[in-house]
Each structure stands twice: as structure tokens, then as C-alpha cells.
């Protein structure tokens, strides 16, 4: 974290820098964010005393150590703002941590923790709470929220008339059940008598601006509620000064989504066979000079431009000149530049389809789309890109879509995330990715994803890729390195396990490890096959089970391995093993069902009991998932 710090670029002496590197250099991202908030609070409120806190790893600590006894707001009425998050990727956690840090700066007593830490008994005592929750798959809540949802839906749920809350819902409009988990959480709380202190806010993948507005709203409510009734307290002044532009991402790494690092491409190599139907590439990027840090299990955010051919196809279909100018974010840009780097062309949403149909005056598209059921609409969106929409449903005679209207219609271009396939302990200032080329056929024409197309087909050694780290603290190696590991993956989901084993090798650790990997064919699709075999020879892999679905008449997937190896699975779980699942959402669901069925058979219990055993593994942090 302090590798780029020098005496000539900071106010510290060389001795102080060496002390910082020695004492703080091993902090992880969460600890760094917590410490940042603590220091900010001390600077904003030097007269306050700070009490010792709980272990930061528990995610249930008062931010910056402020207690009800020494906070300005707490002296007014002894209340505390509770901030909860539930997120698979870490975005919700970042928003919650940043809000808590700003609240602390304003003198508002605050506590931040995962929804997984919220027990029903504690729920009945909550007075003021802010919830940040994301939606995954087809409207599913994150794992951290599953127990709370089950409780609120059950007969044991207690009245919550004392609770005042607000929800920030994170989602992706390309999915039909956009922000469904956030809406469901709000409805469940309201059904138990809780009250909202403000309306729910729903965010698309480009969530920063709305999340910042939500954070400001929550903070102002806390200030108004907790501050003394007479006069404007220091809390009010602090909120006014600090909350107009809340930063919703803790500055742990210098490089962020808004400020990516230009990494140099060092290697691009196809790692599937010539006869494979899959095109999967291994990429190596240089991070030299960045100071960027990551841990096994983290992801790398990548900013990729839309292909020039696709941009030209859209402009030609709408008869818009590439050099037509539009105003975006108070700056003037050509529409060509906007479509290349600032707008989504490869992912549709229902809003985009409806908006285009109206602008184009295309009644056929309007009628057809509205007549589809939910599943059919999802298929319609997933099978097409924006250019396909233009080709299949052209602009009606007498209608014209301007460059300004086009820029307003399309969603902001989002970064793409890839699980990191390397450990810095092994590759130093590099980062490795495993990228599968995505393609679809719409109207008989092959279409490609924006980032996979860019990374696998349009870059070469020496080129630059703009990247930033995306920590994933929910997909880490166990602290006890002797813990057995069951690593389940399909396709490129195997990438983080390569990072895990590199890390273990660098440390000299060798816990029992069992890899279960699935792909179509052994001969052409066994990604990193040579490396897995070398890891096994070195004692870092105890078992390797392949599930190559097309190598026999009956398709065989990773979930079938669990069913076949139920006795070994149960034995490993009895020894305290952690299970990791990485890959597609559908695969993840099937693996959990197979795990339940295997436990049902091995332990001679009914399905409900076996399902509860799986839920217990999740609660204990022994079932970890990275699904997409």
C-alpha cells in the first residue's frame, strides 16, 4: 500500500515511511478503509475521545470507534444510525462503509455491518437503519440477506413499529427483475409495521451518483433526528460542509472505477484447443509503477471501448454523422466518441427497447414487446444488441433520432469484471485474467461482448488496458491455512483457484485441496491443465475431478461429481472443509442442490434437514460463491 510513497513526494521522512511500511503495509482493503475513516474522524473532531473497537474483520464495529457516550449526537438522545449492507460483489459494502465514514465525520454515532450479522432479536431493537442491498440472478437477494428474508417471511417475524429505515437498491436494468431484492426488503419491513424516513432509491450499474445522493439524504436525516432541537449544532454544520458530494467509494487503492490505471499488455494467449467451440484467452497485464494491490479471490474491473465497426453500424442505421456533437456531463463530445466509450451498445434493457420504439415510431416493436411474458422479454433482450434492434425494427418514415436523443436513450457504458487468475505473491507487479469470448447470434449475425471482444481480439503486447481493483472479501482463502478446500468451477470460473494455489505455493502451505472442474471437452477445454497437474505433483492438489459434459453420451456436469463423490464430500465437510463455487448462476444453483442431495443421502436425513445443513455452511462462512 505504501510502495509508491517517497520522502520527496510526501511530508514524511524516510524513517517515517519505513515505519509506515512495516506497521501498515500488511493491512487488507477493509482495514485500510476503516483506518481512513478513523483518521478522517479524528481530523474533523479533534476534541472527541475514541474508544477501542471490535475486531474489524467481524464487520460489526462502530466506525472510527465513536461510542454513544462521546458522540455529539449521542449526547442528545443516545441513538445510533445502523448501516447494513448485503452484496455479492462488494459495491454495497463500499457504499455502506463510505456513508458510515461520512456520518462519523459529522459526529453522528454510527455502526456498519453485514446483514448476515443481524440477528432477529436485534432487529426488534433497531430504531434507525439504512440498508444497502443488491439484486442477483432473477431477483435473488445476496447470501448475506437470505436469513433475514426467511425470518421476515416466516410466522416468527415480530412487529417492527419502532423502526425507521431507508433502502438503497443496487441492480442492473438488463435483468428483468431490476432491484427486486431491494423492493422486497422494503415491502417485508413495511409489512411488519416499520416506517420509511425517505423513498427507496434504485441504482443501475452506474450507481455512483444516485448512491451519493442517497447517502447524503440518510446523513441529513440522521443529523436532523439525532441533533439537539435548539439551534444548529456542529453536526449540522459538518453535514452541510461534507455531504454535498459524498464519495461512495473508500479510497483504499489509488486506482478506482473513476480513476483507472493504464496497464500494459504483456501477453495474450489462447488456452482452448483449435477444435474447441470456446475461445478462452489468458492475459497478463503489467501493473508496474501503480502500487495497485489485490488478493486471491478479488476481481479486476476493466474499461473496454465498443468496437468501431459496431459504432459505425449504429450511426449508419440512424443516418447520424460521426462528428455530430452532443453535450454530456457539461462537456461537448462527438457522438462517435460517446458511443465508443460512454454508452452501452452490446447490452439492452427493457427501458432501452421501449424508449427506442417510441423515438422510432415503430408500433410493431411496441406491440410485440408488450405482448411478451417476462421470460420471453428476457430472451428478447439477451439475444439482441442495439444494432440488431435497429436492423429488425427500423425507424419509421417521417421519424428521425438525433445524436442528442440517441445519447440520452442509451445506458452509460459500464465496466466489466473478471476474476483475477493470479497471486501477487507469485507474479509480483502483474495481474492475470482468464477471458472467454462471448458471442450471440441475432438475425443470423454473430455479435460479440464489449470487453471480451476487446481483450481477446483487439489488443496486443504493448497496448494499454484501463483497469482498477474490485476487492471480494467474501471469496478469500481461509485464515487457517490447514483448512481443507473444495474448489468447484465451470469454464473461466476456475480462474480464482489458480490464484489460490499460487498463493499457497508461495507461502509454503499445502492444505488438502480438491478441484472439481467442468467444461465441454477434456482434450480442448481443460483450462490450465498442465498447471493443475503440476500442483498435484507438488502436493497442492489432493484430488482433481473433471466433468467434461460432451465427452460421453450422457452430459456430465460438476454437480454430478458431487453426487458421485458424496461419501468423500461428507468426509471432507466433517474435517471442516470450505466449499467454493465459481461460475454461472445456473451452475451455482445446481451445485447447491447437488450438495443438499448428497448430504441427504450420506447423513440419512430428509430434504428439509439437508437444506438447513447447507444453510448452516453458508452462515458459518464455509460455503463461498462467486457467481455471475
* pLDDT recorded at residue 253: 61
pLDDT digits (tens, 9 = 90+) for 299-318: 999 999 999 999 999 999 99
For the domain that residue 529 is a member of, what is the CATH number? 3.40.50.80
Looking at the structure of the chain, the number of domains it has is 3
What are 98's three cell numbers?
463510505
> How many Å separate Cα 6 from the centre of its chain?
33
Residue 410 and residue 352 in contact, taking contact as beta carbons nearer than 8 Å: yes
* pLDDT recorded at residue 91: 83
The last residue of a domain, from among 188, 211, 242: 242
- Return phi, psi of residue 334, to 5°: -75, 150
Neighbouring residues of 119: CB distance < 8 A, sequence distance ≥ 6: none
* pLDDT recorded at residue 24: 62
Domain-located, residue 490: yes
Where residue 174 falls among pLDDT bands split at 50, 70, 90? Answer: confident
Q: Are residues 57 and 183 in the same domain?
A: yes
* pLDDT recorded at residue 377: 92
Q: Are residues 237 and 315 in the same domain?
A: no
Domain-located, residue 476: no
Least confident window among 240-254, 416-430, 481-495? 240-254
Domain-located, residue 254: no
| Dist CA 390 CA 356 (whole Å) | 9
Q: Which of 221, 257, 214 is nearest to 236 (CA)?
A: 221
Instruction: Give, for 418, the enclosing helix (H) or strand (E).
Output: strand 416-419
Residue 171 and residue 182 in contact, taking contact as beta carbons nearer than 8 Å: yes
**Residue 18, number of CB atoms within 10 A of its CB:** 14
For the domain that residue 140 is a member of, what is the CATH number? 3.40.50.360
The last residue of a domain, from among 212, 242, 272: 242
| Dist CA 293 CA 468 (whole Å) | 10
Q: Are residues 427 and 490 in the same domain?
A: no
CA angle 84, 90, 95 (to 5 degrees): 50
* pLDDT recorded at residue 440: 82
| Dist CA 577 CA 571 (whole Å) | 9
- pLDDT of 132 above 90: yes
Domain-located, residue 166: yes
* pLDDT recorded at residue 156: 87
Q: Are residues 533 and 438 in the same domain?
A: no
Where residue 402 falls among pLDDT bands split at 50, 70, 90? Answer: very high
Output the CA torsion sign for 251, 34, 197, 201: positive
Q: Are residues 379 and 277 in the same domain?
A: yes
Neighbouring residues of 223: CB distance < 8 A, sequence distance ≥ 6: 73, 106, 108, 235, 236, 239
How large a percentage of the chain has pLDDT more than 90?
67
CA angle 349, 625, 174 (to 5 degrees): 0
Where residue 392 falls among pLDDT bands split at 50, 70, 90? Answer: very high
The listed range with the strongest mean pLDDT (27-31, 83-87, 589-593) is: 589-593
- pLDDT of 409 above 90: yes
For the domain that residue 290 is a member of, what is the CATH number? 2.40.30.10
- pLDDT of 1 above 70: no
Q: Are residues 349 and 462 in the same domain?
A: yes
Domain-located, residue 132: yes
Residue 415 and residue 303 in contact, taking contact as beta carbons nearer than 8 Å: yes
Domain-located, residue 256: no
| Dist CA 587 CA 549 (whole Å) | 13
Query: E strands within 420-567?
Result: 430-436, 439-442, 445-448, 464-470, 485-490, 513-519, 543-548
| Dist CA 595 CA 617 (whole Å) | 11
Q: Which of the two residues, 175 and 213, has the higher pLDDT score?
A: 213
Task: Output the pTM of the full model.
Answer: 0.80
What are 76's three cell numbers?
442528545
Where residue 6 falls among pLDDT bands split at 50, 70, 90? Answer: low
* pLDDT recorded at residue 242: 38
Neighbouring residues of 138: CB distance < 8 A, sequence distance ≥ 6: 175, 176, 177
Q: Which of 158, 80, 169 is nearest to 119 (CA)?
A: 158
Q: Are residues 391 and 497 in the same domain?
A: no
DSSP assignment of 49-104 equals -------GGGSEEEGGG--TTT-HHHHHH---EEEEEE-SSSHHHHHHHHHHHHHH
Neighbouring residues of 109: CB distance < 8 A, sequence distance ≥ 6: 62, 66, 67, 68, 71, 73, 74, 79, 80, 81, 226
Where residue 358 falls among pLDDT bands split at 50, 70, 90? Answer: very high
Where residue 550 falls among pLDDT bands split at 50, 70, 90? Answer: very high
Residue 17, Cβ density class (10 Å: 0-12 exposed, 13-18 middle, ≥19 buried): middle
What is the pLDDT of the chain when averaged over all its residues? Answer: 85
Instruction: Give, for 349, the enclosing helix (H) or strand (E).
Output: none
Q: Are residues 502 and 448 in the same domain?
A: no
Residue 569, Cβ density class (10 Å: 0-12 exposed, 13-18 middle, ≥19 buried): buried
Domain-located, residue 454: yes
Q: Are residues 235 and 324 in the same domain?
A: no
Residue 594 and residue 563 in contact, taking contact as beta carbons nearer than 8 Å: yes
Residue 83 and residue 99 in contact, taking contact as beta carbons nearer than 8 Å: yes
Where residue 89 falls among pLDDT bands split at 50, 70, 90? Answer: confident
Q: Which of the two residues, 451 and 44, has the higher pLDDT score?
A: 451
| Dist CA 322 CA 336 (whole Å) | 5
Average pLDDT score over residue span 338-349: 96
Residue 268 and residue 460 in contact, taking contact as beta carbons nearer than 8 Å: yes
- pLDDT of 21 above 80: no
- pLDDT of 249 above 90: no
Least confident window among 141-155, 186-200, 267-281, 469-483? 141-155
Q: Are residues 293 and 429 in the same domain?
A: yes
Q: Look up the domain containing 495 and give its range.
A: 485-627
> How many Å separate Cα 87 from the centre of its chain?
7
- Return phi, psi of residue 394, to 5°: -70, 165
Q: Are residues 395 and 519 in the same domain?
A: no
- pLDDT of 235 above 60: no
Where residue 245 falls among pLDDT bands split at 50, 70, 90? Answer: very low
- pLDDT of 410 above 90: yes
pLDDT digits (tens, 9 = 90+) for 560-572: 999 999 999 999 9
Neighbouring residues of 173: CB distance < 8 A, sequence distance ≥ 6: 204, 205, 349, 350, 351, 411
Q: Which of 359, 363, 373, 356 is nearest to 411 (CA)?
A: 356
Domain-located, residue 249: no
> How many Å separate Cα 22 from the centre of its chain?
31
Average pLDDT score over residue span 421-441: 94
Q: Are residues 184 and 57 in the same domain?
A: yes
Q: Which of the two residues, 424 and 108, has the higher pLDDT score?
A: 424
The last residue of a domain, from among 443, 470, 497: 470
* pLDDT recorded at residue 82: 94
Per the document, the length of the chain is 628
pLDDT digits (tens, 9 = 90+) for 33-70: 445 544 444 433 333 222 223 333 333 333 333 333 33
Amino acid at each position: 500500500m505504501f510502495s509508491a510513497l517517497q520522502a520527496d513526494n510526501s511530508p514524511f521522512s524516510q524513517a517515517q515511511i519505513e515505519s509506515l511500511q512495516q506497521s501498515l503495509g500488511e493491512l487488507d482493503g477493509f482495514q485500510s478503509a476503516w483506518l481512513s475513516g478513523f483518521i478522517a474522524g479524528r481530523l474533523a473532531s479533534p476534541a472527541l475521545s475514541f474508544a477501542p473497537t471490535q475486531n474489524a474483520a467481524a464487520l460489526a464495529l462502530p466506525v472510527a470507534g465513536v461510542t454513544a457516550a462521546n458522540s455529539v449526537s449521542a449526547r442528545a438522545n443516545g441513538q445510533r444510525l445502523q448501516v447494513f449492507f448485503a452484496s455479492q460483489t462488494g459495491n454495497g459494502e463500499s457504499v455502506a462503509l463510505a456513508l458510515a465514514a461520512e456520518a462519523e465525520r459529522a459526529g453522528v454515532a454510527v455502526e456498519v455491518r453485514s446483514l448476515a450479522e443481524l440477528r432477529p432479536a436485534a432487529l426488534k431493537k433497531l430504531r434507525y437503519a439504512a440498508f444497502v442491498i443488491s439484486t442477483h440472478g432473477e431477483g435473488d437477494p445476496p447470501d448475506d440477506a437470505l436469513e433475514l428474508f426467511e425470518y421476515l417471511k416466516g410466522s416468527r417475524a415480530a412487529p417492527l413499529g419502532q423502526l425507521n429505515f431507508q433502502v438503497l437498491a443496487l441492480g442492473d436494468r438488463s435483468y428483468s427483475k431490476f432491484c427486486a431484492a431491494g423492493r422486497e426488503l422494503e415491502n417485508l419491513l413495511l409489512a411488519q409495521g416499520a416506517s420509511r424516513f425517505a423513498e427507496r432509491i434504485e441504482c443501475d450499474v452506474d450507481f455512483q451518483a444516485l448512491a451519493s445522493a442517497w447517502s447524503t439524504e440518510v446523513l441529513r436525516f440522521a443529523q436532523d433526528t439525532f441533533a439537539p432541537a435548539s439551534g444548529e449544532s456542529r453536526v449540522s454544520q459538518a453535514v452541510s460542509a461534507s455531504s454535498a458530494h459524498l464519495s461512495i467509494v473508500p479510497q483504499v487503492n489509488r486506482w478506482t472505477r473513476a480513476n483507472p490505471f493504464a496497464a500494459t499488455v504483456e501477453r495474450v494467449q489462447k488456452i482452448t484447443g483449435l477444435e474447441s467451440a470456446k475461445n478462452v484467452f489468458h492475459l497478463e497485464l503489467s501493473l508496474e509503477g501503480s502500487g495497485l494491490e489485490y488478493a486471491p479471490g478479488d476481481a479486476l474491473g476493466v474499461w473496454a471501448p465498443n468496437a468501431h465497426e459496431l459504432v459505425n453500424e449504429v450511426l449508419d442505421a440512424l443516418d447520424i454523422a460521426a462528428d455530430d456533437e452532443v453535450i454530456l456531463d457539461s462537456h461537448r463530445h462527438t457522438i462517435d466518441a460517446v458511443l465508443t466509450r460512454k454508452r452501452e451498445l452490446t447490452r439492452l434493457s427493457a427501458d432501452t427497447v421501449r424508449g427506442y420504439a417510441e423515438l422510432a415510431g415503430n408500433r410493431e416493436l411496441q406491440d410485440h414487446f408488450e405482448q411478451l411474458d417476462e421470460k420471453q422479454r428476457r430472451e428478447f433482450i439477451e439475444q439482441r444488441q442495439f444494432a440488431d434492434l435497429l436492423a429488425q425494427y427500423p425507424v419509421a418514415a417521417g421519424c428521425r433520432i438525433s445524436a442528442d436523443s440517441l445519447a440520452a436513450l442509451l445506458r452509460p457504458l459500464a465496466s466489466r469484471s473478471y476474476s483475477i487468475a493470479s497471486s501477487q505473491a507469485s507474479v509480483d507487479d502483474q495481474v492475470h485474467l482468464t477471458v472467454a469470448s462471448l458471442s450471440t447470434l441475432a438475425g443470423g449475425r454473430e455479435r460479440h461482448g464489449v470487453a471480451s471482444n476487446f481483450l481477446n481480439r483487439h489488443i496486443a503486447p504493448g497496448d494499454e488496458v484501463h483497469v482498477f481493483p474490485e476487492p471480494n472479501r467474501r471469496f478469500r482463502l481461509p485464515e487457517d491455512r490447514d483448512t481443507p478446500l473444495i474448489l468447484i468451477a465451470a469454464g473461466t470460473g476456475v480462474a480464482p483457484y489458480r490464484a489460490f494455489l499460487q498463493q499457497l505455493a508461495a507461502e509454503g502451505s499445502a492444505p488438502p485441496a480438491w478441484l472439481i472442474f467442468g467444461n465441454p471437452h477434456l482434450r480442448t477445454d481443460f483450462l490450465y491443465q498442465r498447471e493443475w497437474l503440476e500442483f498435484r505433483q507438488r502436493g497442492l492438489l489432493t484430488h482433481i475431478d473433471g466433468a467434461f459434459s460432451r465427452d460421453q453420451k450422457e452430459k456430465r456436469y460438476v454437480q454430478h461429481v458431487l453426487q458421485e463423490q458424496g461419501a468423500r464430500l461428507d468426509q471432507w465437510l466433517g474435517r471442516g472443509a470450505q466449499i467454493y463455487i465459481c461460475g454461472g448462476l445456473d451452475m451455482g444453483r445446481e451445485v447447491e442442490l447437488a450438495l443438499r442431495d448428497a448430504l441427504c443421502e450420506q447423513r440419512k436425513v430428509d430434504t428439509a434437514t439437508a437444506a438447513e445443513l447447507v444453510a448452516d455452511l453458508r452462515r458459518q462462512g464455509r460455503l463461498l460463491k462467486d457467481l455471475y
